[in-house]
């Protein structure tokens, strides 16, 4: 699975912090973590992405099959539009339109299902990763840990993402304390890419 990004995190909070930091803050010890990668590249995160991809592929195949069937029905109607009476054509075209609306409704429902499943699977991984970050910050004496996506530049030696992933996969206990300053990150996960929406046009009505 997009499967794509724990994006758009911390920007406002970190911008405010940057403005508010006094000159004495230069002595602060700062760590940088790519929250998205720290969640998605753990063993749990990779399994979560595989699960989401399996569900996505299944739902996309269903939508594709329904759209294929509607396309065949449309092609058949277009071929017969000069043979069928206007009443007969209108009846079949109306049925086609109702089925198309139903397909569009299913498309929306499937996307909601994917988003819900993504949240359910991502939340526990995210919470554990945050605990690991807190424990690492305490061990290393970081005053603050910021998300890499929220700052325009950070030195590579400040990045602790790989260490967070390793600690997570090793199964060590997470720190549940709240003393370490951690900017809040997006908990929704990268998420599966949206399903492809149906794009069929209605059958052409007869000219006679």
Residue boundaries of the structural domains of the chain: 28-182
CB-based contacts of 201, cutoff 8 Å, min separation 6: 74
Q: What is the pLDDT of residues 158-172, one digit of tens each?
A: 999 999 999 999 986
Q: What is the pLDDT of residue 176?
A: 56
Residue 106: pLDDT band (50, 70, 90) is very high
pTM for the predicted model, two decimal places: 0.71
Give me the chain's average pLDDT, please. Answer: 81
CATH superfamily placement of domain 28-182:
Skp domain (3.30.910.20)
59 or 12: whose pLDDT is higher? 59
Residue 76: pLDDT band (50, 70, 90) is very high
User: Which three-class secondary structure string do you get for the chain?
Assistant: CCCCCCCCCCHHHHHHHHHHCCHHHHHCCEEEECHHHHHHCCHHHHHHHHHHHHHHHHHHHHHHHHHHHHHHHHHHHHHHCCCCCHHHHHHHHHHHHHHHHHHHHHHHHHHHHHHHHHHHHHHHHHHHHHHHHHHHHHHHCCCEEEEHHHCCCCCHHHECHHHHHHHHHHCCCCCCCCCCEECCCCCCCCCCCCCCCCCCCCCCCCCC
Provide φ and ψ at 78, rounded to 5°: -65, -35
């Amino acid at each position: 699975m997009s499967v794509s990004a724990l994006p758009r995190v911390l920007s406002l909070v970190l911008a405010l912090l940057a403005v508010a930091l006094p000159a004495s803050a230069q002595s602060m010890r700062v760590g940088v973590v790519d929250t998205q990668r720290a969640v998605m590249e753990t063993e749990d995160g990779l399994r979560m992405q595989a699960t989401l991809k399996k569900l996505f592929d299944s739902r996309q195949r269903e939508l594709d099959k329904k759209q294929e069937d509607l396309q065949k029905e449309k092609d058949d109607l277009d071929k017969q539009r000069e043979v069928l009476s206007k009443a007969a054509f209108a009846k079949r075209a109306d049925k086609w339109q109702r089925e198309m609306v139903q397909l569009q409704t299913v498309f929306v429902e499937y996307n909601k299902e994917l988003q819900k499943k993504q949240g359910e699977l991502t939340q526990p991984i995210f919470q554990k990763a945050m605990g690991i970050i807190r424990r690492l910050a305490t061990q290393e004496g970081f005053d603050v840990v910021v998300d890499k996506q929220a700052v325009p530049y950070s030195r590579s030696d400040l990045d602790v993402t790989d260490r967070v992933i390793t600690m997570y996969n090793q199964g060590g206990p997470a720190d549940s304390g709240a003393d370490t300053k951690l900017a809040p990150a997006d908990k929704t996960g990268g998420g599966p890419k949206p399903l492809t929406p149906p794009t069929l046009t209605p059958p052409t009505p007869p000219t006679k």
